[in-house]
Structures are given as C-alpha cells and as structure tokens.
Structure 1
Amino acid sequence: MSEEWVTTMRLGSSSGRFQMHKNYNVMGRVLRACLILSFLSVAWVLQTAQAEAQNYRFGNIVIDGNARIGDAAILSQAGIARGKTVSAGQLNDAFQKLQNSGLFESVEIVPVGNTLRIVVVEYPTINRISFEGNRRIKDEALSALVTSAVRRAFNPTTAEKDAAAIAEAYSSDGRLAARVSPRIIRRSDNRVDLVFEIFEGDVVEIERLSFVGNRVYSDRRLRRVLDTKQAGIFRTLIRKDTFVADRIEFDKQVLQDFYFSRGYVDFRTNSVNAELAEERDGYFIVFNVQEGQQFSFGEITTVSELSEVDSDDYQSVIKVRPGVTYSPTLVENEISRMERLAIRQGVNFLRVEPRISRNDRDLTLDIEFVLTRGPRVFVERIDIEGNTTTLDQVIRRQFRVAEGDPFNPREIRESAERIRALDFFETAQVNAREGSSPDQIIVDVDVEEKPTGSLNFGGSFSASSGFGLAISFQERNFVGRGQQLTLSFSTAEESEQYGFNFVEPAFLGRDVAFGLRLDYRETDSDNLTFGTERILFRPSLTFPISEYGRLQLRYTASQSSMVAQSGVTASPVIDREIASGDQFTSAVGFEYTYDTRTASGVADGGVFIQVGSDIAGFGGDNEYIKSTFRIASQRLIFNNDIKLSTSIEGGALAWRGGTNRTDDRFILSQTNIRGFESGGIGPRDIGSPGRDTLGGNYYVAARIEAEFPLGLPEEYGIRGAVFYDVANLWNLNSVNASGSTLAGETGSFRHVIGFSILWDTPVGPLRFNFTDAIRKEEFDREQKFDLTLSTTF
C-alpha cells in the first residue's frame, strides 16, 4: 500500500502533488505539538515529584546517644522543630551545626517516614588535665595557656590549639625543638584524662651576636645595648641568650636610640640576619647597620610668633650650647623647660616647635625654637581605672594639670612617665580623647596593679668584715598610699644592724617627702679594741629645689656608747671614752643632693654632688658641727668601651663641747680608700698593745678608676679595672691624750694603686681587688687583697 502511495505521489498531476504535500505538513505540525505536550507533562510530573521528595514534615523526632546534653538543647542547636516543614538543605544545615558544635564525636540524621531520627555520640567530659615532661615551665604557667577545662567536653581541635600554644611558649623561651602531643586516657562514665606530653628539647641559644658596618662603636659595646644577649658560660641561668624574634625588633629600636642620642642622626639598621646552625642548636645573628656621621648642635635660637611672648626670656633658659653632641632628648628637655616657663608666666596654650637646619659641611644641626599658639583645648576630667589597691590620689598627683586647666600634650606624656616610674603597675596607659565638646579633652588612665612588696634575703662576703646576712621586708606602696616601708636586719662577723624606715612621698599633698628612720647598730671589730652600740631616731623632710637637686632637712637624736672588749687592753684614750658611758646627741642638719647620673639626656655618664651638715647642741651631751661632702662622676670614653669613674669626698668635725669620742670621729674603711683595713690609717696610739685606731676630725679621699674589657668573650661577664686611691685622716683636737703615744695626728696622704677583676656571676657581682700602697706610714695596717660578693635571692 505504501508503494502505491509513493508511486501515485510521483506520477500524479501537479494538483495531486500539491494536495499530498499539504496533508503531509498538517500531520507534521500535529505530531510536533503532541511531542511538546508530552514532554511538558513529563517534566511537570518529575518536578512535582522532586519537590515533594525534598520537603519534610516530621511529627516525631527521636534522639539517641545523648547522656549529658538534653534533647531540647540538641534541637535548638540543630534548628529543627516538630511539625515544621523542612527541606533537605535545612536538614544538611542541621547536621553541620551539630557536627561543628564541638559537643559530639559523630552525628547522624536519618529521616524515616514521619519520624526524624538523630543519633549522636557525645565527646567525653574532661576529668583532669595534666602535663608530663615539663621541667622548664611549671604546671601553673602551662595551665594558664590552655583553654580546655575540667568538667567540660573534650574537643580534639581545642586540644590541638592548646598544644600549639604550649609549644609557642617553649619557642619564646628559646626551645624551638619543643614538641607537645595531646593524649587522652579513657575513664568510666564517658570521662577522659587529658594529658599533654611535652618534649622540651634543648635551648637554641645565640652562639654569636655580631655587627656589620659599625666603625665608631665596637661589637662589644653594641652588644651591651641590646636586650638580646650572647650565650655565656652560665647558659642554664641566663634567659636572654635565647633567640626570640620579637626581641630582635625591640633591639633594633634601642640600637637606634643609642646612636641618635650620640648625634648619629642618619643611623639605620639595614637588616638583621638570623641564621640557624646546621646542628640546629644555635643562632648566629648579624646586625647590618649604617652609622653615618656624628652631628653636634650648631646655632640655637628662639623666635616668637606671639606678640605677648618675649623670645629672649625663653632663650635664657636654654642650657644646651653649640658644639655639644646632638641628642633628641636634649631638645625635648629644652622644650620642657620653655613650656614650664610659659606656665609660670601664665601663658596658656604655648607650643614650642623645633625647626632643625642641617649643615653637612661642618656636621652641625641648627635649632630654631618657634613659640606658637596651640589649639585652645582644656582638660575636662581625668578618669582612672584598674587601680584596685592604689588610691586615685596617688595617681592624680603625678599630673601637673587638673580639671579645667589648659591641655598640654607634653605634660600628659610626662605624667604618664611619672606614673610608670612609680613601679606600682604592670602596665600604665595614658590616653587623651575628645570630651563633651571639641575644646574639651578627657584623659584616660588605665593601669594594671602588680605586687609592690618584697622579702629579700641577701648575702655578702668581704675579706675585712667576713660573711654577712641581710634580711629586709619592703613595701613600696603601703596600704595603697604610695608610702614606703622598710624593715631590715643585717649581720656580719663584726656588726649587727636593725632598721625601720618610712617615707611619705607627698606630705600634706605636696611634693615633699616625709621620712622617719629608726636604727639600732652594734659593732665588734677585730681591728678595734672596743665595740659600739648606737640607737638613732631621724625624721626628715625632702623637697626639690631644682631640676636635679633636692634638699633634705632633718633632726637626729641618737644615743651611743663604747663597750670594752673582754680580754683586750685598750689605749688610755679609749678607756676614758668608754668610761664616759652613754652619750645623747641632739642635732639638726641638712643635706643637698644633685644627681644627673640617671637623668634623661645624659648618654655617657653624669655627676653626683652631696653636701650635708649636722649641728649638735640642741639639748643632749655633745655640741659640734659635723659636715661632709662627696662629688662623683662617671663617663664612658674610647667609644664607650672604658668606664671612667672619679670621686672626691671629705668631712670636718668641729667639736665645741662634750666628750669627743672615737665613734663620733671619722674612721676610714674600704669604701673610702682601698688597700688598708677598716681603720687602717689615721691617728693611732702606738703605745697601746693593740695600737688602737682613734679616728680623726678631718678627712679627704679621692678615687679614680677605669673599668675596661679584658679581651675575653663578653658573655663570660669578666672585666678588669685599674684604680688609684689617695686619702688623708688627721686631727685629734679636744682629745685628752695624756698617757698615750700618738702617731699620725698631723696626717699624711696615703697613695694606693691597684688592679681589680670584676665578674658578673649569676649569684651576684664578684670583685677581686689586688692593691699596693705606694705611700703609707709605718703604723698603717695594709691589706693587699680584698674579695667582695653581694647578692639578693
């Protein structure tokens, strides 16, 4: 049939062919429409079925495996509720939430018809946390590092983080090879013991600390500047010889400060190369530096942009002079002086702007201080937080400004430094922020308290006085008032002393220190034929009178006696003084101290001056005027490799009434002149069996010492020193010398040269003195060797 149809199509007339094609087109369109409809129907059905498969409504939820965590807590964590329609995606989110909660080892969610089944396996509860293998870091310190806690769920991720924190602590301690592995020990009732197994490893020390590019200062000198230290012979006792990356950054800053304070304004650290040794037991650190040229102060001028301010007044307070080595600290000191002058003159909001002009030809820096008007900003209030023990008033009195005063940024910075200098706080942050209006500033003081009390035990040894023990209790912030309280006890083979000292640093709310000192002392020296007993009571007031100077006014009441030593025949002079019995002395006095040794801006040394006098006779048994002075200075020379120290001191005792006794007169010891025993020079009764020392009414002593490296590795802590001492002690006026054979009353200068070995040991500074008296008297008592050691533990 199809063959006929085809034949007819091919052989029929043209009209027949047209009719057949027309029928064919109609049928094709109908067929295509049917196919499209069929496809759409199938797609709709499939889509409807899929949508129905991805949506759930559970009338019942069953939770299995939970013993510690309730059903409600699990459903809340999963975000699923009974009777609520949820999609497959929401079920997956619920699974992820439960899995990531840190509460379960495993989670399974199984929908079964109208029921959702949630099966969990809870993490065990931590029964105890312990550390094994740790010797260098105590359990208490490690416990503070871990976040895992007893009676909480064990989480492997948290335990791994804790292990990493412990390893980081060992790394900071120089033990880069330390390994920490968390382990668990299963216990009953789904509990575990969490154990951190620690392999501490060896300390990775700094084998060598060197510099490249330094021409002015030696490696030895620069190593003393850095906080990082080179490994020494006492490696197990020294902690700063380990490699700590953060400490290197700090060292770069202190190195820059060192050079800047000495005029090297172009100094920079190009790089720091830390190379680990092949054996991985040490680091070789090299600082690549560029020193540049040293600059000095050139012309120093002051100009004023304010009509009411005379620049000449401010120029007159400048102390630094042209030619002095440039230091940024000295510039800051001059600005502080000018701003303090502005406060005294009542000039508010004065700002001092230093403008520096560089002269490369003569290596000088011209400084022009420009006096300008700063913004009109006032201190609205000072807020103090964090002080649980220290009273607010102790912190507030470190500020020279109060609420309502003009705001001075420099004064706030200096106040912050004074707060930190109290050493009462672990941290002390002082910040300024805008107050209730743009012209108001609120100063925030945030501190963190630290212990201020200490119990110290000390030991000493001297060839002249033997072994000694010292015990003291000190509280630097007594009852939070900033007061100092010290109780001390010290004893050696020849002396015993008990002391009480109290200081109120802000008496009546002012910059005046009130002090009260009580002492009791006994001496029984082999070098003397008598012993002494003395009790002393001394209140005092100390206040500043200049930038570096302080004046103390004091009253002294003391009672003393000389005691005969059994089995010893004393000089007639000593016998008469012993027979005079107890002597009470009442005296008023003063002491002026000027000290720049620790002042900012004094890079290589400083000077110390102390002058004092006591006038006795306001009641009591004695009348005299006793005056003393001491001047000392130190300076680093030869590129800071040698420390040169000099001092001169003296005293005069003018007796006016009473009994002039040996224990009142001056007796020189090793602190005055080396090379002689205590009481080894001065007037003496050579006719007595013990050739008794009688002391003198006048003395003068001078010492000069140069301390230098010996060429040994610096990490040994051994240095050498040479010194030259000269002293004289004379005069016995007002002394009844009948029956005695006196020598040395007119005095003569003794000269001593010596060599010392200084060793900074972990238990304290050890000093060996080898001396030779190149000029002395026949009756002097020489001591050619002296050994001293003192420590606090």
Structure 2
Amino acid sequence: MHASARHSRIELNWTTRSVLAAIALIFSSILFSFHALAQESTEAPAAVAPTIIRSIQVQGNQRVEANTVASYLLIAPGDPYSETRIDTSIKTLYATGLFADVAIDPRDGNVLIQVIENPIINRVIFEGNKSLKTDKITDEVEAEPRSIFTRSSVQEDVQRIIELYRQSGRFAATVSPKVVQQPQNRVDLIFEITEGPVTGVQRINFIGNAEYPDRRLRKEIVTAESVWYKFFSSNDNYDPGRLEYDREQLRTFYTNRGFADFRVVSAVAELTPDQEDFYITFTLDEGEEYKWGEVSVETELDELDAGFLERILRIREGTIYNASQVEDAIDTLNFAAGTTGYAFVDIQPDIKRNRETKTVDLVFNVVEGPRVYIERIDIVGNTTTLDYVIRRELELVEGDAFNRILLDRSRNRVRALRFFEDVEITETQGSTPDRAVVEVKVKEQPTGELSFSAGFSSADAFLVDLSITQRNLRGRGQLLRFVIRASSNRREIDLRFTEPRFLGRNLAAGVELFDVTIDYLDEAGFRQSRTGGQVTLAFPLTEYTSLTTRYSLRQEDIEFPEQGQCAALEASLAQGSTTNDTNLLSLCEQAGGRLSSIVGYTFGWDRRNDPITPTGGFDFRFSQDVAGVGGDVKYLRTDVRANVYKGLFKNVIASATLAGGYIRGWGGDPVTINDRYFKGNFDFRGYDNAGIGPRNVFVNGETGEVATSAELIASGLGDRSARLNALGGNAFGLASTEVSFPLGVPSLLGSLFIEAGTVGLLDDDFKVDLIQTQNVTGLENGESCSNVVDDGNPDTLVICQRSIDNLDIRAMLGASVFWESPFGPIRFDFTKPLRQYDYDRRESFQFTTRTRF
C-alpha cells in the first residue's frame, strides 16, 4: 500500500471516529431526554434542585484542543448534572481512539475533564525479518509513522505478521512488540520477529483411494513433501490456501477419469510436536467409474445441422466420462456456429447421470442468443502506443455484430505486434441490453533497446553485439534498428527501417542497408563479404496468408589467404602445366567481386493458435529469389519451411519441422561457393559450421576408402586429417521433431529432439577426383583417379583427392537445456549421432550465452 493511500486511510479513520462520536452524542441526548421525561411523569418532584454545570475544564491534553474534547461531551455549561450523561461522555471520548484514559470530576458544577492522550507513533521498526522483506510486512500492518498508538491495534498487527509467516511456511514464527518512549508523547514501535524454521511437509497421505496409489495422486497436487535435494522448491511447506487448491486439483483429476461422484471428504493438516513439519491427510470418496452414454445435439437453427455438430464432437458413447470434455465441446460448437454466421448462440449442456447403468447422458441444446452489437471499443493501458496502431489490428469496429471468435483473433493480432506484455479483451453491457462495450486492455513493455551484449559460443567463440532498436518508433508501430555485430567468424553492420502501414494501407514497406563479412577459412578456406541494400513490400493475401516481395542489390567478394598465388597458377596452367591443388584452383576461378541483382518473394501461411508460444496449428513459408535481373550472377533459389505444433500436456509442447532448399544457376552460370548452402551449428545441431555436406577428402585410389593417417604419412602427405575443405551444396533437406517441457524450476526449460538431414548436389564443375601423390610408376599427380586400377598389391599406394557428394542422410538425437541465468540466457545442446560419416565435423556439445550491460 502506498504511503499516500495509508495517510488517507488514517484521516478517514479519524473522520469516522468523529462522526461516530457525534452520532453517539446525539443518540445519547435523545435517550437522556426520553429518560428525563419519563422520570418527570413517574416521580414526585425532588425536594432539592439539581446541580447546574457552571464550567467545564480540560486537563492533560497536549495535541487535541480543549474545544475538540468538549465537542465530544453530552454536557455543557448551564445543563443540569446527570450521571447518565457523564458516563456516556466518557464512553464517547474512549471511542475516538485519541485517549488512553479519561476521568470526569463534577466538583460542585465546575466539571474537570482529565485525559491522557494515546501517543503518536514516531517510527515503526521490524527486527529479525530475513525471509520476508520489510516492504511486504509494512503493506500489511496498520501501524505507521504519525498514526495513533493503541495496544489493541498493535496486537492486531502482530496477528497479521504471524499470518504472513504462516503463509510462507513458518508456523513457529513469533512476534513481540516493544515500545520506546520518545519526547512529546511519541513512541517508537518495534516488532521483534523470530522467524523460526520453515515448516515443511513431512508426509502426504491419502485415505479412501482404491483406483490410484498415493504416489500418483501426489503428482496431481501442488503441495509437495519436503525432500533435501529440492533446493528451489517453494511448495514443500504447508499453506492453507494451497491446500484448497489441491482439493480442486484432485477433483479435476478424478472427474476427468470417469469418477463423476468423486469428492474430497476432508483435508487435515497436523503439526508435529516439534512444530517443524506437517502431516497432511486427504480423505477421499472416489465413487464409481462412469462412461459416456448417449451424446446428442439439439438445435432449431436452420443452417446448423445437428448431425454435423455431433460428428465434430470428440465425445463418444462408451468412452470414459471426462468432465473437461464438456467445456471443450462447447468451444467446438461455438466455433462451428460462428463459421456459419451464427455469432450469437447459446449452448446449454444438459447432463443426466444414471447411477444404475453408471453412464452420463449429455445433450447440447443450441439456441440462438440475443443479437448484440458493439457500441464502443475502448483502448486502455497504452501509454506509448497510439490508439490507431492497436485498432487497425482489430477485426471488429464499432457497429459490428459481437463475435467472440473475431475478438480472439484480434487479441492474437495485437499480441503478435510484440509491443505489449499482456493483452486482455473483455466486454461489458452497453447503454442497452443489445449493446456491448469492448475494452482492449494492454500492458506496455519496453520496445526500445540500447544494448551491448558480450558472450561466448562453442560455435562462434566470442560474440559482441551493439544494437539500437526501436520496434515501436514514436508509438506508431515503426521499426528502426541499427546493429553492429562481431564474432570469431562473422562481422555485420545493419541498418533497417520498416513502416507497417505504408501510405495508410495494409502494406508494410521496409528498407535495409548492410555490410556483412562471413569467415569460412577454417571450414571451407574462404571469406565472403556482402555490401548492399534491400527494399521490401509485404501485404496480406487472406486472413491467414501473406506475401512479401523484395529487391536486393549487393556487391559480393570472395577472399582467401592464397589469393596472391592465383596469377602464377593461371599462367602455369596456360602453359600446359597441371596442378594437384584443386581447392586453390577452384577458389581462384571464383575469386573477385560480383554484383548481384536479386528479385524475390516469400509466401506465408500461418495457422498457429498463438503467435508467440503456439500449442497448436502450423506455419508454412515458401520463398524464391531470382538473381540475374542485371548484375553478374544468375541463379534461382527456392526455400521451403513448415512447422507443426501440438500441446501434449500443460506446458509440454511437441513440434515438427520440415525444411528444404535448392539453388541452380541459369544462363550457363554455375553456383559459386558463396551462394551455396552451408549447414551445421544451430542449423543442424550436433555439427560444427559447415559440418555436413559435400567435402574434398583424401581417399585410397585403389580401395575408394577414406585414407587413414598412416596412409597419408606413407604417401608423403604428412600426418594430417583426410578431411579437407567443405564445398557447400546446391540443395539441402532437414526434418526434426522436438518436445519441450519445464524442468520444475521457473528459469529452466528442457527439450528432447531428433534431427535428420542432408546437403549436396554440387555442380560437376567444382567436383574433383585427382591423384595427389603415388608410388606407382606410370601415374602423374593431377591425373584423374579413374585411371587407378587395383592391382591387388598392398605395397602400392595411390592417394587421390575426391569430392564426396552423395546426399547421405545424417541423423542426430539430442537434448537441450535453456537457462535464464542472472548473467543472461544460456542454452546447452547435447547430441549423440545416430548416423554420421568420418569426414563430418562433429560437435557433441554446444552452448551459447550472452549478457547485456
């Protein structure tokens, strides 16, 4: 509770006390008048005249004015003295809470009011609280500086603090209030807290469960038994509120498995004598198992066929009764009615339980509900984003018929902007019963980012990332991004701007400038650089499909360490010489700068149920790029990718991916090395950069097998790997399945995956099969390996350099762990090959981390 709110509460309490005192004064006056009249009518006239109050004096008051004290009295100068009024006045002064003691001395008409004021709290101090922050305790207690100190309110605060500790599992906590007197009738209020140990749950028992054992039921409730190795668990202590939730969890578990009569008879928690643990006992009445009986749909709406509605239901007669299926069926029927134009239907399930046959009959009555139209749409919570940026994502406007399906789609569209932490759409009745007011409540999240990131990856080694990004520029939904990125094998500068509603239409326009250098020296022996720009236009085709068009113009260069030797090599070849350095020859033929002019498009189809964390549906992307509309490069690239998502259980999501690509030159141009597909690292987990695909290797020319280290040494090539540079491929295919699940700790997420894929179809112009060295007369270096004949003599040895390109499938089994650590997100990948080849570049463990400053 904020301080201002608490001060207001104190002022309200003082005002309330004053009002109550005034009411008591008036009420007492009325009672006194009636009493006096009654006495006059029933008693004989007094022989002695009553004492008249001549004056009223107040003593002992320090903060409260004497006139204020007198205002609470039911007596005044000139009134006759009355014991009844004196007694009521004392009670009224006590009721104000301002005084610790009150005494009234009549003194023959000169009334003396003696008061002792309650002190004012100077400070509120909490000592000994370690597990609960002071702010949390302060929000719960009533005592605060400048409020009135009373012993009753302090005791109430003590009970509030103890209750807080019990909710956190510390039932042995004690609180001792102490008061330190200060000048001017002020006190320091100190709450000395002894927290005691966390009260755990020693055992959870179930009584009456015949169908499911205790260990199975313990998995369904939130409360858990205390175990020494559960360091991060916060559910292994007793909480009465959590126990009520557990009762509902058990009821849901049983009713979803056929036990329609199930009930929790009692849930009892008993504290052990040492007050360190609880025994929790659930007494259950499982009842009998039920099955679904007759399931039908009744409707009087012309365009809704009852037979069709029954067929789309997942509830089948004879299957085990499941209470949750009823709500799912209502959602299915609502959706089906909405697709046929009935936005206003009322579906009423009629459930009849037959205890003799142990079946549950279910009838869905579908009737047309009252038509409701949208009177107004209110946007609230958007402190930065302009209203129209949100409204243009809504599929309904004022005056439209209310449609829950369209509102759900609108929520997904607004969430897909990624401008908001949360989006909630609710409706309330408008000015008339057939009008509705729709409220779109959003919670803004930061969309601007100025970050410096540094990290380390097993694939990229060091990473440095400096970026300035604003995804919601000026609240208009525009994207502006400037990135400088560097790693051991990649350097990039990128500037991008996107207008999501170009010319006021549903057309996204973007422009990008980039300068990228990718280092494949270790993997393929070259470094490539790209400098240029790109413009894009994207627009929806239908509700679920979109088309993105683009044009790129870029200057591309290939560099390699031996580039200075190319001139001498070309001159030697021109004179009729041969070479066995086929890799250098190939790179020399592709070296130099090229201007690429590329036109492309991407077709997207998105049927995911959630744009951020999908648990159902799919998305599909099909892209093509044509190079050759001007420039020096000619090729056609086609890429396709599809993802399918399925929620298996709560927070357990399965996904499957199919991806592929193919590039081919046209107009007589081959596909150069910088335009081919290189797969590995996180494109294909378990492999290094460019770890799979076509590769030059040393082979035994007679056997055709990859050469061993001993054979390479014997041939004079030295002790080195038979695996040479990766060549990339003109085609790739990838298939993967993955199941992600929580690991029991909020910051940890795990997954299991299987991936299989291949890369290949290299142009013949870049394949080699040449002799590198030999100890057989009649064969020359650089000659084709096809001339080698196996003579059966193991002493002869011919080593050839051969391009391996056979589209062999690689398969990988793995597990991933995602940790949102205090230092930044960390991802670990552990893989085990199911199918691989000796010349691949494997990496069984990968990790990536990045920290922002």
Decide which of 749, 769, 774 is 2:830's aligned counterpart. 769
Which amino acid is the alignment partner of residue 125 of structure 1? I
Q: Map 1:373-452 to 2 at 5 A.
A: 373-381=368-376, 402-406=397-401, 424=420, 430=426, 432-433=428-429, 436-437=431-432, 439-443=433-437, 445=439
Which amino acid is the alignment partner of residue 743 of structure 1? S
Q: Deviations over 1:243-298 (max 9, x none)?
A: 433234445556666777x7757385525554555554445656658597686898
Shift in Å at residue 237 of structure 1?
4.3
Aligned length: 727
Q: Map 1:451-466 to 2 at 5 A.
A: 462-466=457-461
Give distance in 2, aligned partners of 1:737 and 1:648: 28
Q: Does 1:745 align with 2:758?
A: no
Give distance in 1, aligned partners of 2:425 and 2:524: 56
Over 3 Å counting, the alpha-carbon distance change for 1:382 and 1:587 in structure 2 is: closer
Q: Does 1:136 align with 2:92?
A: no
Q: Deviations over 1:197-222 (max 9, x none)?
A: 33333333456668784968995798
Judge conservation of contact 1:699–1:727 (CA < 8 Å) in 2: yes
Give distance in 2, aligned partners of 1:123 and 1:483: 61
Question: What is aligned with 2:760?
Answer: 730
Judge conservation of contact 2:343–2:403 (CA < 8 Å) in 1: no
Which amino acid is the alignment partner of residue 311 of structure 1? L
Which amino acid is the alignment partner of residue 591 of structure 1? G
Percent identical among aligned pairs is: 25
Q: Map 1:384-783 to 2 at 5 A.
A: 402-406=397-401, 424=420, 430=426, 432-433=428-429, 436-437=431-432, 439-443=433-437, 445=439, 462-466=457-461, 493-495=488-490, 523-524=518-519, 526-531=522-527, 539=536, 541=538, 543=540, 545=542, 549-551=544-546, 553-555=548-550, 557=552, 559=554, 561=556, 564=559, 571-574=584-587, 577=590, 579-580=592-593, 583=596, 585-595=598-608, 606=616, 608-617=618-627, 622-633=633-644, 646-656=656-666, 660-686=671-697, 691-704=724-737, 724-733=754-763, 743-752=803-812, 754=813, 756=815, 767=828, 769-772=830-833, 774-776=835-837, 778-783=838-843
Judge conservation of contact 1:670–1:677 (CA < 8 Å) in 2: yes
Judge conservation of contact 2:169–2:200 (CA < 8 Å) in 1: yes
The DSSP-based 3-state class of the residue aligned with 2:50 is: helix
Q: Map 1:223-302 to 2 at 5 A.
A: 223=219, 237-253=232-248, 264=258, 266=260, 268=262, 270=264, 272=267, 274=269, 276=271, 279-283=274-278, 290=286
Judge conservation of contact 1:755–1:769 (CA < 8 Å) in 2: yes
Shift in Å at residue 651 of structure 1?
1.9
Give distance in 1, aligned partners of 2:74 and 2:414: 53
Shift in Å at residue 779 of structure 1?
2.4
TM-score of the superposition, structure 1-length normalised? 0.71
Which amino acid is the alignment partner of residue 123 of structure 1? N
Question: What is aligned with 1:52?
Answer: 50
Question: What is aligned with 1:335?
Answer: 333
Give distance in 1, aligned partners of 2:672 and 2:293: 55
Q: Deviations over 1:89-140 (max 9, x none)?
A: 3322322232232323333222222322222233333333333333333334
Which amino acid is the alignment partner of residue 786 of structure 1? F
Judge conservation of contact 1:607–1:634 (CA < 8 Å) in 2: yes
Over 3 Å counting, the alpha-carbon distance change for 1:228 and 1:539 in structure 2 is: farther
The DSSP-based 3-state class of the residue aligned with 2:332 is: helix
Shift in Å at residue 728 of structure 1?
1.2
Q: Deviations over 1:748-786 (max 9, x none)?
A: 22244x46586979767764625245442x422233x31
Judge conservation of contact 1:607–1:633 (CA < 8 Å) in 2: yes
Give distance in 2, aligned partners of 1:430 and 1:599: 21
Shift in Å at residue 700 of structure 1?
1.3
Q: Does 1:310 align with 2:313?
A: no
Over 3 Å counting, the alpha-carbon distance change for 1:588 and 1:453 in structure 2 is: closer
Judge conservation of contact 1:534–1:558 (CA < 8 Å) in 2: no
Question: What is aligned with 1:100?
Answer: 95
Shift in Å at residue 730 of structure 1?
0.3
Judge conservation of contact 2:412–2:610 (CA < 8 Å) in 1: no
The DSSP-based 3-state class of the residue aligned with 2:148 is: coil
Judge conservation of contact 2:370–2:434 (CA < 8 Å) in 1: no
The DSSP-based 3-state class of the residue aligned with 1:57 is: coil
Judge conservation of contact 1:419–1:428 (CA < 8 Å) in 2: no
* Mean Cα deviation higher: 473-482 or 587-596: 473-482
Shift in Å at residue 541 of structure 1?
4.0
Q: Map 1:2-81 to 2 at 5 A.
A: 52=50, 57-58=53-54, 60-78=55-73, 81=76
Give distance in 2, aligned partners of 1:65 and 1:352: 72
Question: What is aligned with 1:31?
Answer: none
Give distance in 2, aligned partners of 1:726 and 1:185: 74
Over 3 Å counting, the alpha-carbon distance change for 1:256 and 1:184 in structure 2 is: same
The DSSP-based 3-state class of the residue aligned with 1:52 is: coil
Give distance in 1, aligned partners of 2:359 and 2:542: 34
Over 3 Å counting, the alpha-carbon distance change for 1:391 and 1:258 in structure 2 is: farther
Shift in Å at residue 586 of structure 1?
4.7
Judge conservation of contact 2:618–2:645 (CA < 8 Å) in 1: no
Over 3 Å counting, the alpha-carbon distance change for 1:612 and 1:241 in structure 2 is: farther
Which amino acid is the alignment partner of residue 57 of structure 2? V
Q: Does 1:124 align with 2:119?
A: yes
Over 3 Å counting, the alpha-carbon distance change for 1:216 and 1:521 in structure 2 is: farther
The DSSP-based 3-state class of the residue aligned with 1:90 is: helix
Question: What is aligned with 1:37?
Answer: none
The DSSP-based 3-state class of the residue aligned with 2:94 is: helix
Give distance in 2, aligned partners of 1:450 and 1:727: 41
Which amino acid is the alignment partner of residue 182 of structure 1? P
Q: Does 1:786 align with 2:845?
A: yes
Give distance in 2, aligned partners of 1:220 and 1:485: 53
Give distance in 1, aligned partners of 2:740 and 2:203: 24
Give distance in 2, aligned partners of 1:772 and 1:114: 105
Give distance in 2, aligned partners of 1:565 and 1:100: 93
Give distance in 1, aligned partners of 2:216 and 2:468: 38
* Mean Cα deviation higher: 282-291 or 112-121: 282-291
Judge conservation of contact 2:472–2:479 (CA < 8 Å) in 1: yes
Give distance in 2, aligned partners of 1:267 and 1:558: 71
Give distance in 2, aligned partners of 1:599 and 1:627: 27
Judge conservation of contact 1:727–1:751 (CA < 8 Å) in 2: yes
Shift in Å at residue 191 of structure 1?
2.9
Judge conservation of contact 2:288–2:358 (CA < 8 Å) in 1: no
Q: Deviations over 1:546-600 (max 9, x none)?
A: 6xx5535253647475674769998544555553267564533223234358999
Shift in Å at residue 729 of structure 1?
0.5
Over 3 Å counting, the alpha-carbon distance change for 1:189 and 1:44 in structure 2 is: closer
Judge conservation of contact 2:471–2:477 (CA < 8 Å) in 1: yes
Which amino acid is the alignment partner of residue 687 of structure 2? F
Cα RMSD after superposing both structures: 5.6
Question: What is aligned with 1:20?
Answer: none
Give distance in 2, aligned partners of 1:734 and 1:678: 23
Which amino acid is the alignment partner of residue 190 of structure 2? V
Shift in Å at residue 652 of structure 1?
2.0
Question: What is aligned with 1:89?
Answer: 84
Q: Map 1:119-198 to 2 at 5 A.
A: 119-198=114-193
Over 3 Å counting, the alpha-carbon distance change for 1:431 and 1:211 in structure 2 is: farther
Give distance in 2, aligned partners of 1:177 and 1:130: 21
Give distance in 1, aligned partners of 2:484 and 2:47: 95
Judge conservation of contact 2:353–2:361 (CA < 8 Å) in 1: yes
Judge conservation of contact 2:651–2:741 (CA < 8 Å) in 1: yes
Give distance in 1, aligned partners of 2:338 and 2:422: 30
Judge conservation of contact 1:571–1:685 (CA < 8 Å) in 2: no
